[in-house]
Structure 1
Amino acid sequence: MQFCDECGSMMKAEDGVWVCGSCGYEEARDSDAEAAMVTTEGQEESQVVDTSDVDVEDMGPTTGAICPECGNDRAFWEMKQIRAADESETRFLTCTECEHKWREDDH
């Protein structure tokens, strides 16, 4: 990922140059620098954790949230940073009754 030296916006690769979509600044691509960049390609996805044998008191915090599947009013919750660091975290919820999972993003 490359960021614009002029305005700080994320740049896109086009025909051998990096181009800023915000201000139009262009910069030549450097294959050595790009090889050192960290990407999400080839990274393993996190594995699903089986919580069926875990006691309810060991599951973590709960909150008052209405399950969209069964209407239950309690859910376990967990916060994760899945977007850019300058954006808010996403709250993942799991119903305490039917174990339906959903997420809530701040907009």
Structure 2
Amino acid sequence: MEFCDECGSMMHSQEGVWVCGSCGFEKARDADSEADMVTTEGQDTDSGPVDMSEVDDAEIGPTTTVNCPNCGHDRARYEMKQIRAADESETRFFTCVECDHKWREDDH
């Protein structure tokens, strides 16, 4: 990956030179420095869905003490995701270990 010396945008390769898509700046490619670059070309980036059918529920994520609004059980698996702006808290997603009911909690 190469970045433009003029505006800082990411450049792309075109006919032996690096070209900035934002400002048009061009610079020659350097085979020695490119040898150290890492690319995703040829890598398997999507190996398909993961089969979780034979994984014990106890092995899927951490659990916490929280009451399920559906069945009242007191344990649930949880995960936290940043779905709003970065300066706001994460949203907690729960799945009851008893009835598989799913719900979420946000800080208000």
Structure-1 residue corresponding to 2:81: 80
Task: Return structure 1 stretches of 4+ with deviation > 4 angstroms.
Answer: 49-52
1:50-85 alpha-carbon deviations (Å, 9 max, x no partner): 755420231111001100000100000000000001
Which structure's residues are more often strand, by fraction? 2
Aligned length: 61
Bigger CA radius of gyration: 2
Tell me, yes or no, if structure 1 residue 59 matches structure 2 residue 60.
yes
- Taking only the aligned residue pairs, the percentage that are identical comes to 72
Structure 2: give runs of 5+ residues left out of the alignment.
1-21, 23-49
Structure 1: give runs of 5+ residues left out of the alignment.
1-32, 34-48
1:7-66 alpha-carbon deviations (Å, 9 max, x no partner): xxxxxxxxxxxxxxxxxxxxxxxxxx9xxxxxxxxxxxxxxx875542023111100110
Structure-2 residue corresponding to 1:99: 100
Supply the RMSD in Å over aligned alpha carbons: 2.2
TM-score w.r.t. structure 2 length?
0.50
Change in CA separation of 1:51 and 1:104 when aligned onto 2, cut-off 3 Å:
farther
The letter of the residue matching 2:74 is D
